[in-house]
Chains A and B, each alone.
Chain A
């Protein structure tokens, strides 16, 4: 089954304790991205990657790191979490750009990781 998986689904941690949220896709997608969803703000992009070893900042990258060592995996790293990073996080993947006719390819989202930083 084609899917994007995230782990853990729920996490409660304390300020300053490093954590990693894993993301894996089995669709051989080039493009992967991390979003956070907050009330009233919708989905905001944190980081994205167009290919292995190629990553770039999204709209809200502060306090986050990513890596793309393999095509299927795109972990999100919080080196020193703070309470303002309490949020619902989504990983997504797609083929990328579908060309001028199709536009951006459909993004497939993981089920989300609810993170609470105390």
Chain B
């Protein structure tokens, strides 16, 4: 049973607007959460992460929010750019180097 769930398989957003990607998890022991980005024919690449002791982490246009009580995290991309069109994977770990990944959300940024 998947412990990390991304319930929206796809998201379409207009260039310049905000993209919001959601991720839910079931394992309350998860301590670290990460987002990876994947372009076609390439491997995933690390985007941003957050520790469970924080509720927000920002890196340029990318911000990750963590709501531990709801077991929910989200990734905000502002403003969205055409190069952001990719598959985004949410991942989590239990104080460990092993990661559990979600199914991914395909983001399409429209010009």
Contacts and interface: CB of A to CB of B under 8 A. Distances in A.
B41 A42 contact: no
A69 B34 CA distance: 30
A63 interface: no
A97 B95 CA distance: 8
Main secondary structure of the interface of B (DSSP, over half): loop
Interface size range on B against A: 20 to 34
B101 interface: yes
B48 to A, nearest CB: 11
Contacts of B49: 103
Contacts of B34: 104
B41 A106 contact: no
B97 A110 contact: no
A41 B103 contact: yes
